[in-house]
Amino acid sequence: MLDYLLQISETSTMLLRERYADFLDTIEKSPLQDKFESYIGQLPVLSFNGARYDLKVLKTTLIPILIELDSVKFAIKKGTGYMVIATEELKFLDATYYIAPGFNYDSFLKAYGVKQNKSYFPYEYLDSLEKLDSREFPAYKDFYSSLKNCNTLEPLGRKDRTESEVRLLGYNDTKDKHFTVEEAKVIGQSRYRDLKNRFEENKWNIRDYLINITI
C-alpha cells in the first residue's frame, strides 16, 4: 500500500511542480520556498473516521515501516486516535475532523457529488482472509452488527431508505413514515436479494464484492 501511495505522491509532486513552476521561480531562495515545496511534496491520504479506526488498526505495521523509511516528520494524537501522521511524502488525515459533527459517510459522499452510495457489507462475517476467496454469498444473519446492535440491511431511520423501498411497502410518504420492525425486515430482505443476485450474476467472490459493490 505504501509503495503505491509513494508512487502517486511522486507523480503528484511532479505535476504540481510543473503547474507552479513560475511561482517556484519567484520564491526561490526565500523563506517561503521550503514551506511551499514541503506542501506540494506531501500527498494527502484521506480516511473517514480513520483516526479512531483505520490508523489505529494499521499503526503497528504502518509506523515501523515509516520509521524505517526515515521520513516521519510529526504525528498528532487526540485521545487514542491519530489526527495526523505526516512524512516527507505523505500526510494521513481523517476527514471527520474537517466536517460537521454527526456527518456520516453517506452524507459526505453526497455532499461532494459522488453518485455511488456506501453499500452493505457483513463485516463480522469476514473474520479470516480465506473468506475473501469464497464464492458463497453470506447469509442474511451475517449482516448483523454487534456494534450497531441491528442487521445493517434494515433501515434505521427516515434517511436510511429510498423512495422505491418506501413504495415497496405501499406508502407514498417518503419523509415522515416510521417503519415497524417487520417493515424494516421486509426492506432488509429486499436489499439482501438484490445484493445476492448481483453477486451470483457477476460470479464474484467476497473480494470482488468488496471492491465492486455500490448501490
Say if residues 63 and 85 touch (Cβ distance below 8 Å): yes
Give the helix, strand, coil percentages of the chain, each rounded to 5. Answer: 50, 15, 40
Beta-bridge partner residues of 75: 85
Which carries the bigger pLDDT value, residue 136 or residue 51? 136
Which H/E stretch holds residue 75?
Answer: strand 72-78
Give pTM, 2 decimals: 0.67
Helix (H) or strand (E) holding 26: helix 21-26
- For the chain, the maximum distance between any two Cα atoms, rounded to a whole number of angstroms, is 70
What pLDDT, on the 0 to 100 scale, is given for residue 139? 97
Q: Tell me the percentage of the chain whose pLDDT exceeds 70.
A: 92
Per-residue pLDDT of 137-161, as tens digits, reads 999 999 999 988 999 999 876 666 6
